[in-house]
Amino acid sequence: MAAAPQMGDSQLKRSSEERPEAAEPSRMTATVTALKETRKDVYRIWLDNGQVWQQMDLENLFAVKIGDTVQIERGKLGGFRMARGVDSRSGWTRVTRLR
Which 3-state string (H, E, C) describes the chain? CCCCCCCCHHHCCCCCCCCCCCCCCCEEEEEEEEEEEEECCEEEEEECCCCEEEECCCCCCCCCCCCCEEEEEECCCCCEEEEECCCCCCCEEEEEECC
CATH number for the domain whose boundaries are 26-97? 2.40.50
pLDDT at residue 28, as a whole number: 94
Which has more confidence, 6 or 48? 48
Is 20's pLDDT higher than 60? no
Average pLDDT (25-42) is 91
Which has more confidence, 50 or 41? 50
Write down the domain spans for the chain. Answer: 26-97
